[in-house]
Amino acid sequence: MPRDIPIGNGRLLITFDQDYCLRDIYFPHPGKEDHTDGHKFRFGIWVDGSFEWITKEWNLRLDYSSNTLITHVTALNERLRISLYCNDLVDYKEDIYIKKIIIKNLIERERNVRLFFHHDFHILETPTGDTAYYDPDERAIIHYKADRYFLISGLRGGRRGIDEYATGIKEFHGLEGTWRDAEDGRLEGAPISQGSVDSTISFRVDLPPAGEHVLYYWICAGRDYADVNRLNRMISGHGIEYFIKRTENYWKAWVNKEDIDLSALPEDIASLFKRSLMILRTNIDSGGAIIAGNDSDVQHFARDTYSYMWPRDGALVAYALDLAGYHGITRRFFEFCHRIIKRGKESVGYFLHKYNPDGSLGSSWHPWIRDGAKQLPIQEDGTGLILWSLWYHFDRYRDIEFISELYDDLVIKCGDFLASYRDSETGLPLPSYDLWEEKWGIHTFTVSAVYGGLKAAEHFSVFFRDQKRAGIYSKAREEIKSAMERYLYDDKEKRFLKSLIPENSSYRPDMTIDASIYAPFYFGVFEPDDEKVINTMNAIKEHLWVKTDVGGIARYTGDSYHRVTEDIKSVPGNPWFICTLWLAQWYIAKAKNRDELKEAIPILEWVTSRALPSGVLAEQVHPFTNQPLSVSPLTWSHAAFAATVLEYLYKLEKVYVCPTCGMPLQRIRG
């Protein structure tokens, strides 16, 4: 189930599903230590003798308040004659999750209402050994295990603390949990439970006829009791609205800090651009890791998720953020990469498959041996794209003190590896895994990324007057370009090949049409108006556009990942946001005037019309229903959208000029 409205601050990440159930609490890293393990935290109401949990059976709308990472959720129940207006936020500075609820009475008589909040913690991603207890000093429920503490309390009508509570056993001997105790409108559970435990708390409010009442609920996260006690005391000292207002002000300043002129774009595209930047931020750890996606429902390959830093994804996200002016975030990302490349096997000059948010090596299904021989289980595009995006970062911001720390360990090591890790006969990079993590071979996308990485390493070497290395990198990339023309472009099919697959001491061409063969123009190997690029992009449009009312570009012909139909002719695969946006990026790159540039707008509108109401973009959508498929939100989808918008605006500056003086008539800033 998609995560419709994620909120976070780089340490504490909270996600909700389509039923407005809190589903994930990541702490102290987005993507590492999901203390719910994806289990539901239920939210319910009792009034006039009836009880209901809030689900999609209510009239629900999940959105964000304008220009903030504060949710704006409305929930209407016609049968109960109750409406709720909710704001959820994580304080931008402290690790506090806050929910503000305005409860509205839709009938003309006074009513007593009880709100219930259920907590199904699996601290450190397991239910074993948890404790939940009522703390009379804090008038709060506390869940803890080892060095992870969560304090839960609330405020209504000037009264702090909980009215009723229950702790109990769940997932053991058939016990479902204390949420069942809530359904009669009363809680009568124990004040402490240990093992596999949950808790439920309630608050009572009196609603005047056709009136309303405000309730605040919060969770403080910390490493020990002192941490959560300090945060709870801060709420008492400053008042809960202080944290809400300062977080609102922070995000409005954050998303508008560059004052980018979006007036040349349709309003829905401009709105999703800002929303994408903020959703991107929720998946970035304060220590620098850019996480691919935090949706615990996606159990990818034997109970694994997307909660990792893939070097390729991270590099492309960093590029988008640098385009948008968020160099502080990207600097921490490159420092994160620097810490990785200085140790272990990576110190040779390559990045491995993926990494945890704390920098440790992530899980992998790529073997170190094939047919009895050693192989490097890498996606070489990740190493190339780290250098490619790092050069853009430096070229734009020119922080020489920062880059001088990375030059020896990151730029030179990776540049030397890319230049040397090549087939002696073809000049192409040696085989590695493709960007989809499925095929072993020599791939057009990977080769293009290696070219882009070597060009970046050459630029760095020239800047630091390292002429010897600059020559090595220049020679290697030119040899790779020539080899691409010879081995990876098919004159008969008039397009680039997806891959060359090792077979019997030679290579077999993979003729599958794959959207990733857009890469030669994007990473600078060939110009966007080169005949080879034009032929390739036309082949992608012809063969990979989904021929249903949904449309969009599939990854490749016959893609089976989350496949929903066997009609490959009409639906070569599910439409992916990133693949569809690659077509828009080509339109932008080759445009020589405003009319040609406008070819990209329908694709940007296609994306906005298929986002969730909150603005969340999944990895892919259902080819018949537009429903999100796979992980949602996907960081890469939002980064590709933001990058495409900015590339459009930068190109507009170049092509929309005064015919007399040649000055831009539309500037992206100012």
- 364-433-297 Cα angle (round to 5): 45
Express each pLDDT in 207-251 by its tens digit. Answer: 999 999 999 999 999 999 999 999 999 999 999 999 999 999 999
Query: How far, in Å, CA of 194 to CA of 155, rounded?
Result: 27
Query: How far, in Å, CA of 406 to CA of 398, rounded?
Result: 13
Angle between helices 311-324 and 267-282 (to 10 degrees): 130
Please tell me what DSSP assigns to residue 621. Answer: E
**pTM score of the predicted model:** 0.96
Confidence (pLDDT) at 3: 84
Q: Is residue 564 part of a domain?
A: no
Confidence (pLDDT) at 4: 87
Q: What is the domain count for the chain?
A: 1
Write out the residue range of the structural domain in which residue 146 sits. 7-254
CA distance readout (Å), 19 to 37, 219, 267, 629: 17, 20, 28, 17
Q: Is residue 195 part of a domain?
A: yes
DSSP H helical segments within 466-566, as ranges?
Answer: 467-483, 519-522, 531-544
Q: Is residue 13 part of a domain?
A: yes
Q: Is residue 158 part of a domain?
A: yes
Q: Which residues contact 602 (CB under 8 A, 6 or more apart)?
A: none
Q: 203: part of which helix (H) or strand (E)?
A: strand 197-207
Q: What is the CATH number of the domain that holds 143?
A: 2.70.98.10
Q: Which residues contact 479 (CB under 8 A, 6 or more apart)?
A: 422, 427
Confidence (pLDDT) at 196: 95
Confidence (pLDDT) at 301: 45
Series of mean pLDDT values for 10-residue runs along the chain (670 residues): 88 96 96 94 96 93 96 97 98 98 97 97 95 97 98 95 95 86 91 96 97 98 98 97 98 96 96 97 97 78 81 98 97 98 93 96 94 93 98 97 96 98 96 96 98 98 97 98 98 97 93 98 98 98 97 97 93 98 98 96 98 96 95 96 98 88 80
Confidence (pLDDT) at 670: 58
Confidence (pLDDT) at 172: 84
Confidence (pLDDT) at 300: 44
Q: Is residue 433 part of a domain?
A: no
CA atoms within 13 A on the CB side of 427: 16
Query: How far, in Å, CA of 327 to CA of 320, rounded?
Result: 10
Confidence (pLDDT) at 1: 61
Query: How far, in Å, CA of 143 to CA of 614, rounded?
Result: 31
Q: Is residue 245 part of a domain?
A: yes
Q: Is residue 202 part of a domain?
A: yes
Sheet holding 22-29, edge to edge: 7-8, 13-16, 22-29, 32-34
Q: Is residue 595 part of a domain?
A: no
